């Protein structure tokens, strides 16, 4: 089951998982896009309406999966919403909206699949966090705050559920080209311009995140739990606006002279 699977990164994961032979339940509030994608992906995909903030909705969605497919092997908690605003311009309503979707939503999801996964002898949960937990992004108190909480939930759930063969890991994307980035309004016409200072100086694409999610969802990552994979173009290793020291090329002979002079 992939929440937020109707578009963007979730849709890309749904496609890759189908290619890998999985049966995918696309769970989202965006019914039209979800139905369209499941029709495109064929027999291996179904759409399930789910608002991740709705506890009863989770019971219905997981109940349907168990009834139709007998078990749930993988949950990808990908549904999320964004907000970029100065701290003082962020209302309590906005803040709580992000907490509900980005923090409560995945927590409800983990709780909903824990019992059936335990009964089946194990399972895998992949939470889609954000590289904003590792980079001090201005304007992201509400968004990064909710993703920091998800990081804690992910690691502690790994600790709790490991004894039943359930692995819980996270993928932390950087700037990825989806509707969320477009709606954010901060992308210039040259979409790579904002990312020019990164080790990989361009925006990322949903399929690049999907491959990391696939790794964590598969037995290839059998010894990983409570782990995080950054898929951020190196953004958090080299901050976007880090000062660039002047490069002074030095010739080898000069270095040898310095060394032999004991400097």
User: Which residues bind to ligand NAD, rule: CB under 6 A?
Assistant: 3-4, 6-10, 28-30, 50-53, 78-81, 101, 128, 130, 173, 175-176, 178-181
Q: Give residues with Cβ within 8 angstroms of 49, minimum separation 6.
A: 27, 28, 29, 31, 34, 57
Q: Would you say 45 or 50 has its CB closer to ligand NAD?
A: 50
Least distance (Å) between residue 29 CB and ligand NAD:
4
First-to-last C-alpha distance (Å) of the chain:
62
Q: Would you say 51 or 118 has its CB closer to ligand NAD?
A: 51
Q: Would you say 130 or 169 has its CB closer to ligand NAD?
A: 130
Least distance (Å) between residue 79 CB and ligand NAD:
3
DSSP 165-212: TEEEEEEEE-SB-SHHHHHHS---SSTTGGGTTSSS-S-B-HHHHHHH
Alpha-carbon span 184 to 182, nearest angstrom: 5
Say if residues 141 and 120 touch (Cβ distance below 8 Å).
Answer: no
Q: Would you say 54 or 73 has its CB closer to ligand NAD?
A: 54
Would residue 143 show up in a list of annotated catalytic residues for this protein? yes
Least distance (Å) between residue 173 CB and ligand NAD:
4
Q: Give residues with Cβ within 8 angstroms of 111, minimum separation 6.
A: 58
164: tokens are 């039943």
Least distance (Å) between residue 216 CB and ligand NAD:
14
Catalytic residue numbers? Answer: 143
């Amino acid at each position: 089951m992939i929440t937020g699977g109707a578009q963007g990164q979730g849709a890309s994961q749904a496609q890759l998982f189908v290619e890998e032979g999985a049966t995918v339940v696309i769970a989202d509030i965006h019914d039209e896009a979800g139905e369209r994608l499941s029709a495109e992906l064929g027999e291996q995909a179904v759409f399930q309406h789910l608002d991740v903030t709705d506890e009863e909705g989770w019971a219905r969605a997981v109940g349907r999966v168990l009834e139709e497919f007998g078990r749930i092997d993988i949950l990808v908690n990908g549904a999320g919403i964004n907000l970029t605003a100065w701290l003082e311009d962020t209302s309590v309503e906005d803040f709580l909206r992000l907490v509900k979707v980005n923090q409560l939503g995945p927590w409800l999801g983990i709780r909903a699949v824990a019992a059936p996964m335990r009964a089946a002898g194990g399972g895998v949960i992949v939470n889609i966090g954000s590289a904003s937990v590792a980079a001090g992004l201005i304007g992201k108190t509400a968004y990064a705050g909710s993703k920091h909480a998800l990081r804690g939930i992910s690691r502690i759930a790994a600790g709790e559920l490991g004894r039943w063969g359930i692995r819980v890991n996270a993928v932390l994307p950087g700037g990825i080209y989806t509707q969320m980035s477009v709606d954010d309004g901060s992308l210039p016409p040259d979409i790579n311009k904002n990312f020019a200072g990164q080790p990989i100086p361009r925006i990322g694409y949903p399929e690049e995140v999907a491959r990391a999610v696939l790794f964590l969802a598969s037995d290839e990552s059998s010894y990983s739990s409570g782990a995080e994979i950054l898929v951020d173009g190196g953004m958090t290793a080299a901050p976007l606006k880090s000062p660039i020291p002047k490069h002074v090329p030095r010739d080898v002979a000069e270095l040898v002279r310095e060394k032999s002079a004991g400097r």
